[in-house]
Amino acid sequence: MDAVQKANSGHPGTPMALAPLAYTIFTRFLRHNPENPQWPDRDRFILSAGHASMLQYALLHLTGYDLTLDDLKNFRQWESRTPGHPEHFLTPGVETTTGPLGQGFATGVGMAMAERFLAGRYNRIGHEVMNHHVYCICSDGDLMEGVANEAASIAGQNALGKLVYVYDDNRITIDGTTALSFDREDKAKRFDALGWHVQHVDDVEDLEALEEAIREARDEEERPSLVIVRSHIAYPAPNAIDTSAAHGAALGEDEVRAAKEAMGLDPDEHFAVPDEVYEHMDQKSRGRDLEGEWNARFRTWQSEFPELAEEWDYAWKGKPLPGYQEALPVWDASETEKLATRKAGAAVMNAFKGYAPTMIGGAADLVASTSTAFEGGGMFSPDHPGRNIAFGVREHGMGSAVNGMAVHGGMVRPYGSTFLIFSDYMRPAVRLSALMGIPAAWVFTHDSVALGEDGPTHQPVEHFMALRAIPNLTVIRPADANETSMAWRSTLEADGPVALLLTRQNVPVVDRSKFAPAEGALRGAYVLAEALGGADEPDAILVASGSEVAVALEARELLTGQGVNARVVSMPSWEIYDAQDQAYKDSVLPPSVEVRVSVEAGVPNGWERYVGFRGASIGIDRFGASAPGETVLEKLGITPENAANAVLALLGRGERVSEDEGTPAVEGTDPSEGHS
Tell me which residues are annotated as active site: 395
Site for a second copy in 334-373 (CB under 8 A): 363, 365-369
The continuous run of DSSP H or E covering 268 comes out as none
Interaction of residue 627 with a second copy, rule CB under 8 A: yes
Q: How far apart are CA 219 and CA 201, in angstroms?
A: 17
Using only the alpha carbons of the chain, give its radius of gyration.
28
Q: How far is the CB of 324 from a second copy (least distance, A)?
A: 27
422 binds a second copy (CB under 8 A): yes
Q: Which stretch binds a second copy (CB under 8 A): 121-129, 136-144, 207-215, 491-499?
A: 136-144
Binding mask 31-70 for a second copy (x = CB under 8 A): ------------------xxx-------------------
Residue range at the interface with a second copy (CB under 8 A); choices 8-16, 262-270, 295-303, 644-652: 8-16
Smallest CA-to-CA distance from 7 within 249, 242, 260 is with 249
| Cβ neighbours, 10 Å, residue 332 | 12
User: Given candidates 13, 83, 524, 664, which one binds a second copy under the rule CB under 8 A?
Assistant: 83
Query: By CB under 8 A, how many residues form the interface with a second copy?
Result: 124
Does the protein bind a second copy through residue 595 (CB under 8 A)? no
* Least spacing, CB of residue 41 vs a second copy, in Å: 28
Which residues carry a binding-site annotation for Mg(2+)? 140, 170, 172
Site residues for a second copy, 565-594, by CB under 8 A, read 594
CB closer to a second copy out of 66 and 594: 594
Answer for the pair 248, 4: CB distance below 8 angstroms, yes or no.
no
How many angstroms from the chain centroid is the CA of residue 371?
A: 19
300 binds a second copy (CB under 8 A): no
Stretch that binds a second copy, among 23-31, 258-266, 283-291, 465-473 (CB under 8 A): 465-473
Q: Which residue, 175 or 269, is less far from a second copy as judged by CB?
A: 175
Site residues (CB under 8 A) for a second copy, limited to 91-110: 97-101
Residue 388 three-state SS: strand
Residue positions forming the annotated binding site for substrate: 11, 247, 342, 369, 446, 454, 458, 504
CB of 471 to a second copy, least distance (A): 5
* Backbone phi, psi, residue 269, to 5°: -95, 135
- Smallest separation, CB 244 to a second copy (Å): 8
Nearer to a second copy, 458 or 489 (CB): 458
Give me the phi and psi of 149, to 5 degrees please.
-65, -40
Reply yes or no: is the peptide bond before residue 274 cis, omega within 30 of 0: no
Site residues (CB under 8 A) for a second copy, limited to 141-170: 141, 144-150, 153-154, 156-157, 159
Neighbours of 361 (CB within 10 A): 30
CB 342 within 8 A of CB 447: no
* Cα(166)–Cα(48) distance, integer angstroms: 10
Query: Which member of 44, 76, 116, 342 binds a second copy (CB under 8 A)?
Result: 76
Tell which positions 603-622 bind a second copy, by CB under 8 A: 603, 605-606, 608-609, 612-613, 621-622
Coil vs helix vs strand at 467: helix
Binding to a second copy by residue 119, rule CB under 8 A?
no
Residues making up the binding site? 11, 51, 99-101, 140-141, 170, 172, 247, 342, 369, 422, 446, 454, 458, 504
CB 478 within 8 A of CB 521: yes
**Residue type at 663 in one-letter notation:** T
Positions in 202-261 near a second copy (CB under 8 A): 247-250
How far, in whole angstroms, is CA 462 from its chain's centroid? 20
CB of 510 vs a second copy, minimal distance in Å? 28
User: Quick one: which of 32, 342, 353, 394 contacts a second copy (CB under 8 A)?
Assistant: 394
d(C-alpha 328, C-alpha 591), whole Å: 35
Three-state secondary structure readout of 15-66: HHHCHHHHHHHHHHHCCCCCCCCCCCCCCEEEECCHHHHHHHHHHHHHHCCC
Bridge partner residues of 226 (DSSP): 165, 198
Q: Which stretch binds a second copy (CB under 8 A): 172-180, 532-540, 562-570, 652-660?
A: 172-180
One-letter amino acid at 128 equals E
Q: Distance (Å, rounded) from C-alpha 72 to C-alpha 121?
A: 40
